[in-house]
Amino acid sequence: MIENLEYDAILEQFKRILRENGLKYTKQREVLIKTLYNSDEHFTPEKLYLYIKEQYPELNVGIATVYRTLNLLEESEMVTSISFGTQGKKFELATKPHHDHMICKKCGLIVEFEDQIVEKRQLGIAKEHGFKLTGHMMQLYGICESCSKNNIKGR
């Protein structure tokens, strides 16, 4: 299944895919995959573009390259994308362990969690429907402990 590969291993895999397809290993591609690896964020293409532009100004990266690289990586199954509501598409490395979010509707607190029972069950559900599972998104909504206690009026 999904292993948590070290960065070097991820990079090697990336280089291998490029080599096998007669593609080239460029600074832009290196920086993009490194950024995805080093961050826990789910990046939109726009955000990723702005971040790389700021961190590596000498590269003078273009947003078209970010889109092209993300699409390339997604086709190679090295990144996955998911959509959060209206916020558009977000990308993350396929090799990272997945986590879900629990969101407090009063104060906006976000708690990350990972649950083996749910993860396992998802595989079962997918199998029952003939799907090959590549990812998932689960968000729980509720009221956090703090907000429950101090029944403060929220937004």
Partner DNA sequence: GTTACTGCAAAGTGTTTGCAAATCC
Partner DNA sequence: GGATTTGCAAACACTTTGCAGTAAC
Q: Which residues bind DNA (CB under 7 A)?
A: 18, 22-29, 44-46, 59-65, 67-69, 71, 86, 88-89
Instruction: Choose the one of a second copy, DNA, none that binds residue 136, judging by a C-beta under 5 to 8 angstroms depending on kind.
Output: a second copy
Instruction: Answer yes or no whether residue 102 interacts with a second copy by CB under 8 A.
Output: yes
Instruction: Choose the one of DNA, a second copy, none that binds residue 135, judging by a C-beta under 5 to 8 angstroms depending on kind.
Output: a second copy
CA separation, residue 61 to residues 11, 44, 75, 122 (Å): 20, 16, 21, 38
Q: Which of the residues 26 through 65 are near a second copy (CB under 8 A)?
A: none
Site string for a second copy, 115-134 (x = CB under 8 A): x-xx--xx--xx--xxxxxx
Give 155's DSSP letter: -
Short-list 98, 79, 96, 90, CA closest to 136: 98
Q: Is 52 exposed, middle or buried (0-12, 13-18, 19+ CB in 10 A)?
A: buried
Three-state DSSP state, 22 = coil
Binding stretches for a second copy (CB under 8 A): 80-86, 89, 102, 104-105, 111, 113, 115, 117-118, 121-122, 125-126, 129-145, 148
